[in-house]
Amino acid sequence: MDRLQALQLFARVVERGTISAAGRSLGLSKTVASKRLQDLEADLSIGLLNRTTRHVSVTEAGQALYDRIIPMIRDMDAIIEQISESTEAPSGVLRILARRSFGMLHIVPTLPSFRAEYPEVSVDLHLTETVEIAPSYGTDIAIRLGQPTEKSLDWQRLTTDRRMLCASPEYFRHHAPPADLSDLDRHNCLTYGQEAEPAVWVSEHLGKRRDIVVTGSLRSNSGEVLRQAALDGLGLALLPEWMIAWDVAAGRLQICFDDLRLYPAGYSAEIYAVYRRVSRLPGKLEAFLGHLQRHLGTHLN
């Protein structure tokens, strides 16, 4: 048994949550991956994983092992990547974890041109509605809401934090645009939030903050859903500029209160590209970040 490869597989299981997903990331079938993990546990005389028919979780001993080995695995991967890329064009698999709405609007559309420019780089893209995501073993970069605080991470800001209160021209044909914030209770407000979060929009103007409880016929944890509902004339939505800039420019959406800072409570941050802090970025990551920043500069500025 190659212990190093088995430890890498174990780390992938911890990160990805299933043996099959971890195996696929390393080109292994679930059967082969399961056998290697069993051999590793036998070799170490430690139970690393709790297995049921539907779920895999890490044991206390397994978590302790993971915490000890993951810095070494990351360092080894970084060294190998830097050596191999020092004399070659960007290549290999770029693993991206991104907020779903931003990924669909700004990462997916750039992939054809990115692949044309860097044909030796393939992309493994995973999308999520989770807010606080970070690069981990098996992920090169996370596109997330908010700047990280961990000293082991570095970042680039991708967007502003501006949110726009908007609705379609069709909606405003039937409902007069709000003249001030007190008018919001007369409108169908399409709200964003996770479970149990109240529907509150925050206004900041001239140093004063005002929390406004809003109501409406649709609440979702997907910005894409709210954008489409606003385009369809269902109501007012408070959405990031990076999500609706094209729609506003094309006249599909009209904005209100352009002079106020408005945002859904808890969701005021900018979008950041977050990656592990290293002395030199891998070529594939540096190429992707440059390509993405050029795309955003063209479409959002």
Q: Are residues 4 and 122 in the same domain?
A: no
For residues 69 and 217, state if they share a domain.
Answer: no
- Residues 280 and 148 placed together within one structural domain of the fold: yes
Helical segments of the chain, H only: 3-16, 19-25, 30-44, 60-85, 100-102, 111-117, 169-174, 223-231, 241-249, 283-300
Q: Which residues does 37 contact at the CB level (< 8 Å), separation at least 6?
A: 6, 9, 10, 13, 19, 48, 49
Residue 234 and residue 141 in one domain: no
Read off the CATH number of the domain in which 249 is found: 3.40.190.290
pLDDT in tens, the chain (301 residues): 578 888 888 888 888 888 888 888 788 888 888 888 888 888 888 888 888 766 788 898 889 888 888 888 877 776 666 665 554 678 889 999 999 999 999 999 999 999 999 999 999 999 988 877 878 767 899 999 988 888 888 999 999 999 999 999 999 999 999 999 999 999 999 999 877 788 999 999 888 899 999 999 999 989 999 999 999 999 999 999 999 999 999 999 999 998 889 999 988 899 999 998 877 788 899 999 999 999 998 877 6
CATH number at residue 67: 1.10.10.10
Of 59, 87, 115, the position where a domain reaches its end is 87
- 117 and 137 part of one domain: yes
Q: Quick one: 275 and 286 in the same domain?
A: yes
CATH number, residue 280? 3.40.190.10
Q: Are residues 154 and 300 in the same domain?
A: yes
3-state secondary structure of 258: coil
Domain count across the chain = 3
Answer yes or no: do 251 and 282 share one domain.
Answer: no
Tell me what pLDDT residue 208 has: 87
Distance, in Å, from the CA atom of 34 to the CA atom of 84, rounded to the nearest integer, reads: 30
9/73 same-domain check: yes
Please name the residue that has the structure tokens 């352009």.
258
Which residue, 87, 106, 130, sits at the end of a domain?
87
27: left (phi over 0), alpha (psi -120 to 50) or beta: left
If asked whether residues 151 and 285 sit together in one domain, one would say yes
- Please indicate, yes or no, whether residues 139 and 182 belong to a single structural domain of this protein: no
List the domain range (segments joined by +) for residue 219: 163-264
Of 87, 102, 129, which one is at a domain's C-terminal end? 87
Element (H, E) at 220: strand 219-220
What pLDDT shows up at residue 72? 82
Q: Are residues 201 and 288 in the same domain?
A: no
